[in-house]
Amino acid sequence: MSGQGEWAQKRLPAAGVAVGVILIAGPFLATVVRSLLVWRDDSPHLSLGNFANLFGDARFVSAATNTLVAGVCTTFFSLILGFSLAFLVCRTDMPGRRWLETANLVPFFLSPYVGAISWIYLLAPHGGLLPALVRTHLGISLEWLNIYSVPGVIFVLTLFYTPYVYLFVTPPLREMDASFEDAARVHGASFWYTTRHITLPLVMPAMLSAGLIVFVTSAGLFDVPLALAAPRGIRFMPTEIFAMVQYPSDLGKAAAFGMVVLTVTVMLTLWQRKFLAGRRFDTITGKGYRPRTIKLRLPTKIAALTLEAIYVGGGVVLPLFVLLLVSFSKLWTGRFLWRTATTGNYEYILTKYDLTRTAIANSLFLAVTGATIGVGLAVLQGYYLTRGNPKRRALMETLLSLPLGIPGIILGLGFLIMALHTPLYSTLTIILIAYIARFQPFATRNVTAMFMAINPELEQSARASGATWKQTMRHIVLPLLKPSLIASWLMLFVIFIRELGATILLYAQGTETISVAMVVLSERSSGYVAALAVVQLILLLVAFIAFQITRTPISQRST
Amino acid sequence: MSSVRVQGLTKRFGNHAAVFEVSFDVPTGGTIALLGPSGCGKTTILRCLAGLETPDFGVIDIDGEPVFDHAKGIDLAPERRGLGIVFQSYAVWPHMTVAENVAFPLKVRGMGAAERKDRAARMLELVGLKGFEDRSATLVSGGQQQRIALARALVHEPRLVLFDEALSNLDTRLRQQMRMELRMLQERLGFTAVYVTHDQAEAFGLADTVILMNNGAIEITGPSREVFLHPRSAFAARFFGMNVLEGRLLESQSDPRYLEAELSPRLIVRGVAAPEQDLQPNGRVLACIRKDAVHVFRPERPEDATGTIVAASFLGAEEEYLVEVAGVRIQTIGAAVGLQKGDAVCVTMAADEWVFVR
């Protein structure tokens, strides 16, 4: 008696999940197999030679050490900064907190690669805006402040990863049931005692999971080491893998390195999921009163605003400012001269130069197509994960969330190995597939959360009223999911517009993206790079504004 | 003709049988209430009727048409069973107006917009929501959402309407009002109704026939009044809030109309056996009595007292007491007379109020 509707209900969501699983299993298996193959006499042999080769390489040790040090330090500083900013915005009467609440999030939407090159323009020992200004006006040399260094990488990474912590910590801080803290106060605890012994422990699960995500993703980020470490020969994991794939390439060794990274990230991701499983919604009861706002005294108020000024200044204002200056300069020397100001850079990249014009078109195509496919898959996967076969749900959710921790360059490597001798090699399609594989789980996570908020009885009463599965999806489920579909689409759009790590191994002539074009141009002219970065920024800001406009506060969402 | 016929319905979740070999009939235009504590399987039966769960065994006919038959492999999708349903959460769609919610069953049946609007408006008038058509469905009160859900369940004139704890989320006063209105609406429109509830007042108030469920199986079926007045098991007696006291059935009976049971060496009570009980003389028996059939009052002379108040709680119009009589503790409920803990009282219990079960 199974009608066509029931067939769709069972098969479509399962198909969505199957696509997701293939997208993660494919590159994973390719990397495993390739890491175990060594070519001798023009034929492949199974061997651990790649691993021996890798572990015996001093460059591997230095890359791993630098990556771990930078990851740990970035996590530490992001946690402190993120918690402080979230606390100030959520729990105090700091002036302008409504505006700053959004400003603190802006770096989340910006490209870390652009952030890194902006800080080169700001702080390079020669030709940096800040050292030049300070030398001229204060007579102090800032040349010891070298942005091309491990601390430089940590600094820029911290600016870009603080919003992750901020995003994780804000909901528990804001929505924590006030009675937890009120009970402590009534029973005799001071404000600071309560903060230390009640508030902080309650926020700790959020802090720990944010910390883990920051560690995994910041250590795997290709953009910042490429801009700040590679030019001085400082080795990092992602740049080292990139180097291994370049001529004379050693794919086996790169795959072995990839395996090491995959093992660590998958283990950390699984551990984090296990850790989080029992702790969800600990602090949010959905009832009771909002926590009290703390009144700051004048000195604390000044200190709070200074912290905000440093963060928003360093993460948003200064980089944007210097990018604009460089993009309008004929030649960047650390000073902006009005008489040589020009719009020539923009004219060149937008109208004359094929590489940049192709890159912009490619990026827009990838972002729009990828976000649309990604959200479509997310709906099917979200349906399966909340309404599908209960026995397989948990396993599938774990599998589908794995790509979130895997560095883009590792996934790019997997797809490169897979596509190498196929027609997909050096096409936009393989880049699109890699983007969806790596980032689509973000959309699934969003949409799944929204699915969980929709009472299944809303669908069941539609079915009982006579609607088929497809009609129910169209008239009930999709309209209810709409806020999260829009948010997920915009999020994927933003990520795809600025993506670099997964692209860098897969692009070829004619399939460059904006970020790739910036890397290619970075050796030629800072003016072109800055102008291209501004174009990218405009695209990102349009998406960010759209996100802010369409975002419905959780309190107004109906369930 | 029966509107609903359920035979041998079984539904397992893992190793646990949520519903085990349940059979019952509801006549066309009849009302039935599935009553029982949470986890007894009553909601599972309702969801099987609606097609929202697939049973493991059994047959379900609606209006003579099989909608589920395990042996024949029939399992109609929910939308093909032609039902109406009202959930405890109301499940009013938040992204639609009141009228859009109500007109939805007509829309998916392909009815034109003008006729839809007209019928939805008439149905809204019937449930007392005239003029609410264009409001956002989430901006009305809980009681009004309940009426929207009701209108939506009735608008397409279904043969069978299912109510899953439909009144449980309303406050007491509104619940009583809604119960009356629902009863009148059912009589007027004549649809067959299946109610699922854990509240005995709701079950008795709404349905002609009550099925008391226990642990996935039917405990008792019968007309509401009979089920309540003549509990046939200790489970039923406890569920309806009666005193259930352990005792021993006496061999010799002084009055042939009654049985006698010894609850303590100094307390012997008279009562009748519930139907279909296999009571053995000298055997263990459970003596049940409604709380309101036990009366306590202040004795005229202190030496007439037969019991002592152990606990008293004032409930408003009524008062609840725990009274100790000859070493046995019995709960009573009755008009508030202001007795205090420790008061010596007279206790009376009418003989025909005691029911003996095994």
State the amino acid at position B165 in one-letter form.
E
Q: Which of B73, B108, B138 sits opposite A465 (nearest CB)?
A: B108
In this complex, is the C-beta atom of B36 within 8 Å of any C-beta atom belonging to chain A? Answer: no
- Residues B28-78 pLDDT 10s: 999 999 999 988 999 999 999 998 889 999 999 999 999 999 999 999 888
Sign for the pseudo-dihedral over CA of B194, B198, B200, B201:
negative
DSSP structural state of residue A296: P
- Residue B9: other Cβ atoms inside 10 A: 24
- Residues B154-178 pLDDT 10s: 999 998 999 998 888 888 888 888 8
Contact B156 A466 (CB under 8 A): yes
Give CA A551 to chain center in angstroms: 19
Contacts of A338 (CB under 8 A, 6+ apart): none
Average pLDDT of the residues of chain B: 89
What's the confidence (pLDDT) of residue A120? 92
Q: Which of A460, A467, A559 sits opposite B108 (nearest CB)?
A: A467
Contact B94 A3 (CB under 8 A): no
What's the confidence (pLDDT) of residue A554? 41
Top-level CATH class of B241-357?
mainly beta
Torsion of CA A288, A290, A292, A296, to 10 degrees: 170
In this complex, is the C-beta atom of A559 within 8 Å of any C-beta atom belonging to chain B? Answer: yes
What's the confidence (pLDDT) of residue A293? 76
Distance from CA of A378 to the nearest CA of B (A): 21
Q: Go through A37-52 and write b for each residue having 16 or more CB atoms within 10 A of its CB, e for each that does not.
A: bbeeeeeeeebebbbe
Question: Do the Cβ atoms of B173 and B185 come closer than 8 Å?
Answer: no
Taking the whole predicted model, whether its pTM rises above 0.90 is answered as no
What's the confidence (pLDDT) of residue A555? 39
Complex ipTM more than 0.85, yes or no: no
Kindly list the averaged pLDDT for each block of 10 residues, start to end, along chain A of length 559.
62 92 94 90 86 91 96 96 92 88 88 94 86 84 85 96 92 75 68 76 84 92 94 94 90 93 90 68 48 80 94 94 92 82 91 92 96 96 90 88 89 93 91 95 91 89 91 93 91 94 93 95 89 94 82 45
Task: Please say if the pLDDT value at position B225 is more than 90.
Answer: no
Contact A464 B162 (CB under 8 A): yes
Note the helical H segments in B127-276.
Answer: 142-154, 172-189, 200-206, 224-229, 234-239
CB contact residues (below 8 A), chain B span 82-121, against chain A: 82-85, 87, 89, 91, 93-95, 104-105, 107-109
State the amino acid at position B333 in one-letter form.
I
State the amino acid at position A389 in one-letter form.
N
Higher-confidence position of B22 and B349: B22
Q: Which of A1, A5, A466 sits opposite B73 (nearest CB)?
A: A1
Q: Which of B159, B117, B94 is nearest to A466 (CA)?
A: B159
Task: Please say if the pLDDT value at position B1 is more than 70.
Answer: no
Contact B152 A465 (CB under 8 A): yes
Query: A4: which chain B residues are within 8 Å (Cβ-Cβ)?
Result: none
What's the confidence (pLDDT) of residue A208? 87
Q: Go through B312-346 and write b for each residue having 16 or more CB atoms within 10 A of its CB, e for each that does not.
A: beeeeeebebebbbeebebbbbbeeeebeeebebb
Residue with the two structure tokens 């030629």: A524
What ranges do the domains of chain B cover?
A: 2-229, 241-357
Q: Which of B73, B93, B138 sits opposite A476 (nearest CB)?
A: B93
Residue with the two structure tokens 């890159």: A359
* 3-state SS, one letter per residue, for A96-144: CHHHHHHHCCHHHHCCHHHHHHHHHHHHCCCCCHHHHHHHHHHCCCCCC
- Residues B253-292 pLDDT 10s: 677 778 888 898 888 888 888 877 778 888 889 999 999 8
What's the confidence (pLDDT) of residue A415? 95
Q: Which of B62, B90, B79 is nearest to B147 (CA)?
A: B90
Bridge-partner residues for B84, per DSSP? B161
Bridge-partner residues for A270, per DSSP? none
What's the confidence (pLDDT) of residue B167? 87
Residue A236, classed as helix, strand or coil, is coil
| Residue in chain A nearest B75 by alpha carbon | A1
Higher-confidence position of A319 and B350: A319
Question: Do the Cβ atoms of A214 and A206 come closer than 8 Å?
Answer: no
How far apart are the C-alpha atoms of A458 and A456, rounded to whole Å?
A: 5
Sort strands A43-46 and B209-214 into parallel, antiparallel or unpaired.
unpaired
What's the confidence (pLDDT) of residue A275? 73
| Residue in chain A nearest B69 by alpha carbon | A1
Architecture of the structural domain at B2-229: 3-Layer(aba) Sandwich (3.40)
Question: Do the Cβ atoms of B170 and B178 come closer than 8 Å?
Answer: yes
Query: A460: which chain B residues are within 8 Å (Cβ-Cβ)?
Result: 50, 52, 78, 85, 87, 91
Q: Give the helix/strand (H/E) hosting A44.
A: strand A43-46
